[in-house]
């Protein structure tokens, strides 16, 4: 959990000046604010060429104080600490990125679930791809519209769930330009796990030869789209309009990271 001063500083970064009550509506608001104000980023991992410090104090300093963003093992851990400090029943879960692939990926993502009065919800602010901009109820095969996007949770077996997104071709914010279809973005398991179970996964995901270590990847949701950055290429989606800007030179790239994501490398 976070002390009162850190809760206040974290909430201020999310645009809130008072501690909200632990309700579904406020959870939705916190998730959306997090996704639009704190970027998913591997810049620090790539430039330092080392795995991140997963101590809660270190994550708070990096994400809230320094504004450098982070990846799932940092962002979802910190957000969980905020939620529990606000009175939510939140805990981590094992998850894997899918993004429409046919083959199986290893467990490579720290997800999170929150228990509310009416059931269990996925609450994710650290997935570097399409994710619900609010809490998604783990209710089998129910279409849930969240901030203009449609998602479906599907129970698979045991405690495993698929998080599917209904993509919508040319108007799809995440640029999956195919006819309307259902695509699995993420899988998660609701079986209990502990915080101590994740450092080894983070270490594996931050090794040389991995996406997070070898590339600079940044994503941030906006009010009408998203901003993405990878290795000097900036993508800005505003409604149905998309711009791709190739940035030449370290100075231009650092300026774009500061201007569009608030990151000072």
SS3 167: strand
Q: Can you tell me the mean pLDDT for 23-41?
A: 98
What pLDDT does 109 receive? 97
Active site residues: 72, 109, 124
Residues 6+ apart with CB under 8 A from 160: 187, 188, 189, 190
- pTM confidence score: 0.94
> Dihedral sign, CA of 160, 29, 60, 214?
positive
pLDDT, greater one: 148 or 39: 39
Q: 238: which 2 tokens?
A: 């505003």
For the chain, the average pLDDT equals 93
Give the sheet arrangement for strand 241-246, strand by strand. 40-41, 217-222, 225-230, 233-238, 241-246
Q: What is the pLDDT of residue 129?
A: 83
The tokens describing 168, both together, are 């919508």
How high is the pLDDT of residue 101?
80
174 pLDDT above the threshold of 70: no
Q: What is the pLDDT of residues 132-160, one digit of tens each?
A: 999 999 999 999 999 989 999 999 988 99
CA distance 251 to 242: 24
- Is pLDDT above 60 for 92? yes
- Look-up of token digits 């490579």: 108
pLDDT grade for 177, boundaries at 50, 70 and 90? low
Closest CA to 122 of 162, 156, 150, 84: 162
Structure tokens at 152: 């479906």
> For residue 169, is pLDDT > 70?
no
Summarize the confidence of residues 232-246 as an average pLDDT.
Answer: 93
φ, ψ (nearest 5 deg) of residue 119: 145, -170
Q: What confidence category does residue 167 fall into, taking pLDDT thresholds of 50, 70 and 90?
A: confident
Across the strands, what pairs with 163? Answer: 153, 186
Q: How far apart are CA 165 and CA 125, in angstroms?
A: 16
Report yes or no: 184 and 164 within 8 Å, Cβ to Cβ: yes
Question: How much is the average pLDDT of 14-27?
Answer: 95
pLDDT category of residue 172 using cuts at 50, 70 and 90: low
Per-residue model confidence (pLDDT) at position 157: 87
pLDDT at 9 over 80: yes
């Amino acid at each position: 959990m976070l002390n009162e001063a850190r809760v206040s500083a974290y909430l201020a970064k999310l645009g809130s000046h008072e501690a909200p009550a632990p309700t579904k509506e406020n959870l939705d608001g916190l998730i959306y604010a997090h996704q639009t104000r704190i970027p998913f980023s591997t810049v620090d991992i790539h430039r330092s060429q080392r795995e991140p410090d997963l101590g809660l104090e270190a994550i708070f300093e990096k994400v809230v104080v320094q504004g450098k963003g982070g990846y799932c093992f940092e962002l979802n851990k910190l957000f969980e600490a905020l939620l529990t400090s606000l009175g939510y029943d939140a805990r981590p879960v094992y998850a894997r990125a899918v993004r429409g692939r046919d083959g199986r990926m290893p467990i490579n993502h720290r997800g999170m679930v929150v228990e509310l009065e009416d059931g269990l919800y996925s609450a994710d602010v650290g997935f570097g791809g399409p994710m619900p901009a609010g809490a998604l109820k783990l209710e089998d095969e129910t279409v849930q519209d969240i901030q203009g996007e449609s998602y479906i949770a599907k129970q698979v077996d045991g405690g495993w769930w698929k998080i599917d997104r209904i993509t919508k071709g040319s108007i799809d914010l995440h640029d999956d330009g195919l006819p309307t279809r259902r695509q699995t973005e993420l899988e998660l398991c609701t079986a209990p796990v502990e915080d101590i179970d994740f450092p080894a996964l983070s270490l594996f995901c931050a090794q040389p030869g991995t996406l997070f270590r070898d590339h600079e990847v940044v994503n941030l949701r906006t009010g009408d789209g998203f901003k993405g950055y990878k290795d000097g290429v900036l993508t800005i989606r505003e409604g149905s309009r998309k711009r791709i800007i190739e940035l030449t030179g370290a100075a231009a790239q650092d300026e774009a990271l500061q201007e569009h994501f608030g990151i000072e490398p």
